[in-house]
Chain A
């Protein structure tokens, strides 16, 4: 068996409350493993710590205790090692308003010092693949929400990362656009055999995307987990029922959380 691409071992993340009234536990002794090429959907209610877990994997925040490893390295401390290895699609498109659509797709390649001509060809190819041909020189404000999110997906894929992290990337879009983009996204991830972590708070989205679904309780810990690869309809129906039960049974977050 190969080493897992992402491994959390008793990882906790504690934040100091801004008002100075003690600490706030966002992630508590979280342990899981994600294998190479696996697409894992992480499901949980708002405020359950999914995004904190996401930020730890992305190396944007450091775990307070426990061991978080991505490709065997600490994603926060081994900053240089992860150059070009992780692609992120955020909840908002996070496009630089002063850059055109093409320049936004080019950003990661430019940071990674890719040769200019090759980088532009790659960026253009990804834009075409995501239906953005003809909009290369448009600024973000001139694009629709769906198109902007396509640009951000192209930006993540353009650097050809080993791991894709997606934090509710379609939650701000209308249902029709989200459905089309979701299908396209899954197709692209499967075609490129990438490992992907997909955070969502929508059950249908998690079931549609994930090879495996992990349901988080607050503070982030796994309350339920199921594998959906080659699962039959009966298994999916049972999983759906279980997930709904687990999510329904979760206590409401504290008011000051």
Chain B
């Protein structure tokens, strides 16, 4: 088991090491304001992590991502319940959600600036609206994947709505919800930067805008890496939760 994990970590490192090596080659060819050395990027990245005032910006962005995702998840869950219970509601709401899905994140940024004053609410609004359709559709898909056989078996014991939710619906939809969080996390991390670029006075997006104004490529890379590291840490946390929740699933020795 340990050897298998070590192999996996080593394999995952190969691509990243190759990427860093390629960057370093470019750094030796081009001037540092275009391709700063890898060591400088790493130094700046660590500096952000150990400097309280800079780390604060990372945490603000993380909080905005979580708030936005949580808002979209709760609203998406409610919408999924409405859509799941009524075919008419689905016929009315599904096209609206698909329409929303087609609106670029940048357009939501413009709408938010025109409609609202508060920076935090603007960002929250953008985050929720950009991830809401995906959350809604993923939750409803998870619900619809519920086995009819297990539903009938559970119903044969005459459960209350709450008991049905506890014993059948929640365990059935949890894997789908975890996947939805993983998918939307990446999307939210990209959107939050766009939202922070316009009008925010703190956060990774704001700091990226500053690095662009200072023409500081090492700084831009270091701030980008903060977001990448954040997404990686949260993804791994969700993966760990998923592995624990789905521990009952058999794994074939030939599994990829």
Contact = CB atoms under 8 A, between A and B. Distances in A.
A170 B157 CA distance: 21
Contacts of B248: 97-100, 139, 141
Given A97-B249, A141-B248, A86 B156 contact: yes
A110 B171 contact: no
Interface stretch (A65-73, A88-96, A115-123, A237-245): A88-96
Interface string A97-112: 1111000000110111
Contacts of A97: 248-249
A191 B156 CA distance: 23
Could you say which interface size class chain B belongs to? 10 to 19
Contacts of B159: 111
Interface stretch (B88-96, B123-131, B134-142, B147-155): B147-155
B250 A141 contact: yes
Contacts, number: 55
B171 A96 contact: yes
Interface string A109-147: 011100000000000000000000000000101100000
Interface stretch (A41-49, A75-83, A200-208): A75-83
B157 A111 contact: yes
B250 A107 contact: no
A84 interface: yes
Interface string A204-240: 0000000000000000000000000000000000000
User: B152, B158, B159 — which one has the most chain A CB atoms within 10 A of its CB?
Assistant: B158
A188 interface: no
Interface SS of B by simple majority: helix
A107 B158 contact: no
Contact of A111 (B149, B158, B171, B246): B158
A83 B150 contact: no
Given A107-B167, A139-B248, A141-B250, A83 B153 contact: no
A58 interface: yes
B157 A159 contact: yes
Given A97-B249, A98-B171, A60 B150 contact: no
Nearest to A140: B248
B187 to A, nearest CB: 28
A80 B174 CA distance: 28
B73 to A, nearest CB: 22
Nearest to B160: A111
Given A80-B158, A97-B248, A111 B163 contact: yes
Contacts of B163: 110-111
13 contacts: A83-B157, A83-B158, A86-B156, A92-B149, A94-B149, A107-B154, A110-B163, A110-B167, A111-B158, A111-B163, A139-B250, A141-B248, A141-B249
Given A98-B246, A111-B159, A111-B167, 10 more contacts: A79-B158, A80-B158, A90-B149, A94-B149, A94-B153, A96-B150, A96-B167, A98-B171, A110-B163, A111-B158
